[in-house]
Amino acid sequence: MTTADTTAPSPTPSSGKSEAATQSKTATTLTTPKALEISKRPKDEIPIEIDGAEHHAALAEAEGGSHYKYDSELTPEKCRKHDVRNMGGRFVCSPCKYKKSNSWGSGVICTELYLSRDNCTYRTVINAQQCKTCNKYGKLELDVSKYVDRVLDTFALWRGLREARKPDDPHASKGPHDRERCHGCKKGICNKNDVDLSQFRYRNQKSFGRR
Ligand SMILES: [Zn+2]
Ligand SMILES: [Zn+2]
């Protein structure tokens, strides 16, 4: 009988403790299905608020546009001015593609415009509209050349490079506007008459968005 053969080296207490701690940490990570669900959730393919970054290249190529840089993070606090303008274009609803009315044109596509204090950086947010048939938001097909004109024209006004127009100018849309299905209207910022409301906003906050 040899005692030396049966004596195995015993693990140090400290190493055993740390192994148990690691195991329990792993178990905690694996039992959080909520976090996994969120990361696996499919991205909403149709944006309700469209960042104007994708149209910056067209704006920068236009006359007077190369001056501006785009910043998706630009906040109203950093702006000399921000307001709403209407753009033109179409929305297409793909779930309704086999139905007759799966696309619609609009001259009142509510678009937020932001211009930084130094007049060099800007941002736009285009608000989508919902389909009349299924109430899902449509995919925007923007009239890009009109958008570029309108954004640059508005910034020229804000920078004092042109005179303000009267509210009855030809830009104002005279057609009906479906307020129930316009995201800009839901946010209370849609400006169907497309006038420069900055001067009214500070005088009477309530009147802004109700015109
Ligand atoms: Zn639809
Ligand atoms: Zn609206």
Q: Which ligand is nearest to the CA of 104?
A: 1
C-alpha 183 to ligand 2 mean position (Å): 7
Long-range pairs for 39-47 at CB < 8 Å and ≥24 separation?
46/128, 46/136, 46/137, 46/138, 46/139, 47/128, 47/137
Judge whether 9 lies within some domain. no
C-alpha 51 to ligand 1 mean position (Å): 22
Domain that holds residue 172: 49-207
Judge whether 13 lies within some domain. no
Q: Which ligand is nearest to the CA of 97?
A: 1
Structure-model confidence comparison of residues 194 and 105, the more confident one = 105
Judge whether 24 lies within some domain. no
Judge whether 193 lies within some domain. yes
What are the phi and psi torsion angles at 60 (to 5°)?
-65, -25
Structure-model confidence comparison of residues 48 and 30, the more confident one = 48
Judge whether 165 lies within some domain. yes
C-alpha 153 to ligand 1 mean position (Å): 34
User: How is residue 141 written in tokens?
Assistant: 């097909």
Q: What percent of the chain has pLDDT over 70?
A: 67
Q: Which ligand is nearest to the CA of 107?
A: 2
Judge whether 6 lies within some domain. no
How far, CA to CA in Å, does 56 sit from each of 53, 69, 71, 82? 5, 8, 10, 17
Instruction: Dump pLDDT digits (tens) for 109-156.
Output: 999 999 999 999 999 999 999 999 999 999 999 999 999 999 999 999
**How do strand 69-70 and strand 121-127 relate by DSSP bridges?**
parallel
Judge whether 173 lies within some domain. yes
User: How is residue 27 written in tokens?
Assistant: 């178990």
Number of domains comprising the chain: 1
Report whether pLDDT(35) > 90: no
Among the residue ranges 28-42, 68-82, 127-141, 171-185, the one predicted with the least confidence is 28-42
Q: How far apart are CA 196 and CA 87, in angstroms?
A: 14
Secondary structure of residue 6 in the 3-state scheme: helix
Among the residue ranges 32-36, 94-98, 100-104, 162-166, the one predicted with the least confidence is 32-36
What pLDDT band is residue 172 in, cutting at 50, 70 and 90? low
Judge whether 113 lies within some domain. yes
Q: How far apart are CA 178 and CA 186, in angstroms?
A: 11
Structure-model confidence comparison of residues 56 and 6, the more confident one = 56
The reported pLDDT for the residue numbered 22 is 43
What pLDDT band is residue 168 in, cutting at 50, 70 and 90? low
**How do strand 103-116 and strand 121-127 relate by DSSP bridges?**
antiparallel
Residue position matching structure tokens 């840089």: 69
C-alpha 158 to ligand 1 mean position (Å): 38
Look at residues 151, 154, 149, 124 and name the one whose alpha carbon lies nearest to residue 49: 124
Q: How far apart are CA 179 and CA 154, in angstroms?
A: 24
Secondary structure of residue 163 in the 3-state scheme: coil
Extended beta strands in the chain, E state: 49-51, 69-70, 79-92, 103-116, 121-127, 139-142
C-alpha 180 to ligand 1 mean position (Å): 15
Q: How far apart are CA 169 and CA 121, in angstroms?
A: 27
Q: Which ligand is nearest to the CA of 139?
A: 1
The reported pLDDT for the residue numbered 16 is 44
The reported pLDDT for the residue numbered 101 is 78
Secondary structure of residue 13 in the 3-state scheme: helix
C-alpha 187 to ligand 1 mean position (Å): 21
The reported pLDDT for the residue numbered 45 is 76
C-alpha 57 to ligand 1 mean position (Å): 30
